[in-house]
A and B are shown apart, each in its own frame.
Chain A
């Protein structure tokens, strides 16, 4: 079983893993990083998204061999209650969820969007979140929250 090293939320981790084991399994299992959620196991719902470098990607079908030496950021690494990311603040102020199970993946997609496009239009936000499913119907609140975070970043 090879040892695979990568950066998780800024810290180096080394795990012994089968190279075809999924990143989600390693994160939620041995590493106890539970914000990426299992939704479908097929990369179709977005609940398990993590940042790989600057891109939001499904971790449920991402084999560990492909993670070696990558920078992985999960919601745990985005910000904290003490030092929140503007997106986290905005999701609270817009009350942008119902159940919130999809929210960690959506925050990751939104973070990736704001990195590559700090002042997106509403249509660009929607397009960026299109691969994330929400069943409760909180989409519009989330879009408003992302736009609020973008404007906060722009004025800070």
Chain B
């Protein structure tokens, strides 16, 4: 007898926000409003979600208006992060739209007197035998969607979907090409005035005295705002606000601040701090005997989000109510933090999303929203727009955390792995707003009754972990112990950056595997395949190898390397092969990737995300580290924090392994770890050296060569 199948469950986002009308509404003449809780951050999610809705409702995608998330009406889907939007919002919408379609078919059946099974829907028109017809819009007054979704609704089978699974053009791109304002930076609200906030150069310095005289004389000034150590200006133009800020800075006296670690001794710093230790996973040792142990340390530096746009927000007070426009990743979470700081009920705050520049994690979007709210108190009901400077964006926004990773691999006489110990020292990788009793917003640490700076923590393993993300090998090794040491101090502010700890951990694991394969004289791809039982994992590696014609003939000055991971060990599978050329200066010529996200809703969107991830992380690997001296962050401009340019960008070739029958997962973070390792391994193939400290710069290569000789 077979076991009873479990009771059907609603998708998680729909269970949390069950009312159908909060997701879908038929509006106006022939329009559909679809309202996800996830937001567009440059990843194309809004288009993919529209595709899912179009498919399940059987309407043309052009009829769908995607509504920007707002705490006034949208489902609460937490934060747009972790490559989870397709999984969470996509599943919820698919289910909700399938049920909406079913409810309308039932109503049409009643009105037309025909069994629902004889009715079909085409672009919103419901028709049946004998040319009878009605439509969603004709019926919409009679079909209430103010019902909670029911579990067990069956969405279309993958074979009958006609929009999802196809490369539909993104809905936001025409506006961006034809200069029609979508960005929050470009939206002019009536009566808008401009704010700027005074922040110290010296890390951790507090404002202890302020002479407002000079700033007070600036033409166009509306107000100078001071709340403890928080100070800023409001003026009637951006230029006036900048001038007032410059004048205010001259009148500021700051405390000494807090010392920063040695930027050239990050591993020593990370490994000497007070820590909280968590054993992430253990696997019992077999009896095999180790004849020797390889011990290797890998590091990655602090990395800046460095969006092309500095963070921006607008806020407007109306008595005790405030309306906030933001490019935050989580409108409800930001609202929760604002409510704590402002000491008002969340219901008094509306937080509404507007698109910003590409967002790669917890940047200053939330911080600037509180800045705008605080400055708007002095604007007499006018909306205040605050835009950070490039300098502040590169020094006061949270960074991706630096990591030191040590792996000890026990090898037997044949150099087979018999034991594996992976230890991570890092700050936590998340200090997001809205998840604690204290706010995570910068200005909250500056106001009259300040909150302490929130020390970053790590999401639980069930959510993919933080510093430990991807630290448990997907490989079939006989024994391991994985340990995460989270720092309890945080002199450099860190929070979530794309992949959290996965980039560092995959770099470390894949580098050491490569080294062991080389010790054995075994092809690195054959070595990996021999240790992987997951067929989807094996297939992406084989696909990347085929596509890159692995292994190309050896040529002087050229190297090839491979890297692989399944993001979070539960998400997208990705294998990368890098072709590099170089002596002491490295150029990445080509990246060949294969990826399996299950059902790719928008294949070109997936390719775009993988290409983008591959190029962004090539920049991290070759160039990027946050610079600082003992007192201040010094990489505050593009000159001091260079990123990859057009001439330096490698060719990127992506193959998608489509699995329409498997639930889709996100693609935005899948490439980072594998590409990092592939480049490092290609450098070894080319130059015979292992560089274990990111970024892999000319200096590091020369140092590794000197060490090797």
Q: What residues of chain A have their CB less than 8 Å away from a CB belonging to chain B?
A: 21, 25, 28-29, 32, 34-35, 37-42, 44-45, 47, 74-76, 79-81, 84, 88, 91-92, 95, 97-104, 107, 123, 125-127, 129-130, 132-143
Cβ of B153 < 8 Å from any Cβ of A? no
Additional A-B contact list (12), CB under 8 Å, known A39-B310, A135-B306: A34-B188, A35-B179, A40-B638, A47-B308, A80-B178, A84-B178, A95-B173, A100-B172, A101-B307, A102-B308, A135-B358, A137-B614
The one of A47, A137, A142 in contact with B616, judged by C-beta atoms closer than 8 angstroms, is: A137
Closest CB pairs A-B (n = 9): A99-B42, A137-B615, A137-B612, A99-B358, A100-B176, A101-B357, A34-B186, A35-B179, A44-B638
- Interchain CA distance A56-B591 in the complex, whole Å: 31
CB neighbours of A134 from chain B (8 A):
308, 646
29 contacts between A and B (CB under 8 A): A28-B238, A34-B188, A74-B179, A80-B178, A95-B170, A95-B604, A98-B42, A98-B43, A98-B609, A99-B42, A99-B358, A100-B176, A101-B185, A102-B308, A126-B649, A127-B646, A130-B645, A133-B643, A135-B306, A135-B308, A136-B358, A136-B612, A137-B611, A137-B614, A137-B649, A139-B615, A140-B615, A141-B611, A143-B646
- Interchain CA distance A144-B387 in the complex, whole Å: 33
Hey, what's the 0/1 contact readout for B616-639 against A, CB within 8 Å counting as 1? 100100000000000000000111
Would B651 and A140 count as touching, CB distance under 8 A?
A: yes
Closest-by-CB residue of A relative to B394 is A40
Would B177 and A92 count as touching, CB distance under 8 A?
A: yes
Cβ of B461 < 8 Å from any Cβ of A? no
Would B357 and A135 count as touching, CB distance under 8 A?
A: yes
Would B173 and A100 count as touching, CB distance under 8 A?
A: yes
CB neighbours of B358 from chain A (8 A):
98-99, 101, 135-136
CB neighbours of A74 from chain B (8 A):
179
CB neighbours of A44 from chain B (8 A):
637-639
Would A98 and B612 count as touching, CB distance under 8 A?
A: yes
- Interchain CA distance A11-B292 in the complex, whole Å: 77
User: Smallest CB–CB gap between A41 and chain B, Å?
Assistant: 6
How many residues in B have their beta carbons less than 8 Å from beta carbons of A? 57
Total A-B residue pairs with C-beta atoms closer than 8 Å? 163
Would B646 and A130 count as touching, CB distance under 8 A?
A: yes
Closest-by-CB residue of B relative to A30 is B237
- Interchain CA distance A88-B179 in the complex, whole Å: 10
CB neighbours of A80 from chain B (8 A):
178
CB neighbours of A75 from chain B (8 A):
178-179
CB neighbours of A129 from chain B (8 A):
646
The one of B178, B183, B238 in contact with A88, judged by C-beta atoms closer than 8 angstroms, is: B178
Would B647 and A127 count as touching, CB distance under 8 A?
A: yes
CB neighbours of A139 from chain B (8 A):
615, 644, 646, 649
Would B309 and A130 count as touching, CB distance under 8 A?
A: no
CB neighbours of A88 from chain B (8 A):
177-178
Known: A91-B173, A137-B612. A39 touches B647 (CB 8 A): no
CB neighbours of B651 from chain A (8 A):
140
User: Smallest CB–CB gap between A136 and chain B, Å?
Assistant: 4
User: Smallest CB–CB gap between B634 and chain A, Å?
Assistant: 15
The one of A25, A37, A41, A133 in contact with B185, judged by C-beta atoms closer than 8 angstroms, is: A37
Known: A137-B615, A140-B611. A99 touches B177 (CB 8 A): no
Would B179 and A101 count as touching, CB distance under 8 A?
A: no
- Interchain CA distance A30-B662 in the complex, whole Å: 53
Would A25 and B188 count as touching, CB distance under 8 A?
A: no
Would B238 and A25 count as touching, CB distance under 8 A?
A: yes
Known: A40-B638, A135-B616. A99 touches B170 (CB 8 A): no
Cβ of B434 < 8 Å from any Cβ of A? no
Would A104 and B179 count as touching, CB distance under 8 A?
A: yes
- Interchain CA distance A34-B185 in the complex, whole Å: 8
CB neighbours of A101 from chain B (8 A):
42, 183, 185, 307-309, 356-358
CB neighbours of B608 from chain A (8 A):
95, 98, 138, 141
CB neighbours of A133 from chain B (8 A):
308, 638, 643, 645
Cβ of B390 < 8 Å from any Cβ of A? yes
User: Smallest CB–CB gap between B173 and chain A, Å?
Assistant: 6
Cβ of B129 < 8 Å from any Cβ of A? no
CB neighbours of B308 from chain A (8 A):
37, 39, 45, 47, 99, 101-102, 133-135
Hey, what's the 0/1 contact readout for B591-620 against A, CB within 8 Å counting as 1? 000000000000010001101111110010
- Interchain CA distance A125-B183 in the complex, whole Å: 27
Hey, what's the 0/1 contact readout for B343-360 against A, CB within 8 Å counting as 1? 000000000000111111
Would A38 and B310 count as touching, CB distance under 8 A?
A: yes
CB neighbours of B177 from chain A (8 A):
84, 88, 91-92, 100, 103, 107
User: Smallest CB–CB gap between B77 and chain A, Å?
Assistant: 20
- Interchain CA distance A126-B637 in the complex, whole Å: 22
CB neighbours of B181 from chain A (8 A):
34
CB neighbours of A81 from chain B (8 A):
174, 178
Closest-by-CB residue of A relative to B181 is A34
CB neighbours of B238 from chain A (8 A):
25, 28-29
- Interchain CA distance A44-B42 in the complex, whole Å: 22
